[in-house]
Amino acid sequence: MYEFHAWVGLSDSTFESDYDQIDVVVAQLSELIGKRVDPGWSAVSFAVQNFNGQFFFVANGSVNRRRDEAVLLEELLALIAAALPGSWGLVYDRDDAMPVPPGPNAYRARVIARGAISEQPDPFLTPINPVIED
């Protein structure tokens, strides 16, 4: 099983989003999602949404194994980090086949900030057994 949850606030600058680059990248993200998300994927969701003038990238999914959805998630995150260095957010994922660390009994927590994606230990839901499963 492969499960992922992501939310990322999109910003082209760490100060303010005032370079108008964000509109171009939001259009690229939306186009990439539209071209690559198979309408038959009922177990995943990718979207760029505008809340009160602030764009957010959100992704959620639960599939039987790591497939094209995981590849698309990684490509979108890489584009966000490179093109919108003021973006910030979290990505939680778990995979039964994930190597140690964090391993199959854990979530991988990644932080997106200042144009970089870093992996952090997850203090909240890991280990899955016994924290959220018996």
- The reported pLDDT for the residue numbered 15 is 75
Domains of the chain: 2-131 (3.30.70)
- pLDDT, tens digit, 9 for 90 and up, residues 9-41: 999 887 765 556 899 999 999 999 999 988 877
pTM listed for this prediction:
0.90
- The reported pLDDT for the residue numbered 17 is 52
Whole-angstrom distance, CA of residue 84 vs CA of residue 114: 8
21 contact partners, CB below 8 Å, separation of at least 6: 12, 83, 84
- pLDDT, tens digit, 9 for 90 and up, residues 44-90: 999 999 999 899 999 999 999 888 899 999 999 999 999 999 999 99
Q: Which amino acid is at 48?
A: V
Contact by Cβ (8 Å): 7, 60: no
Its sign, for the CA torsion 67, 131, 6, 122, is negative
Contact by Cβ (8 Å): 98, 106: yes
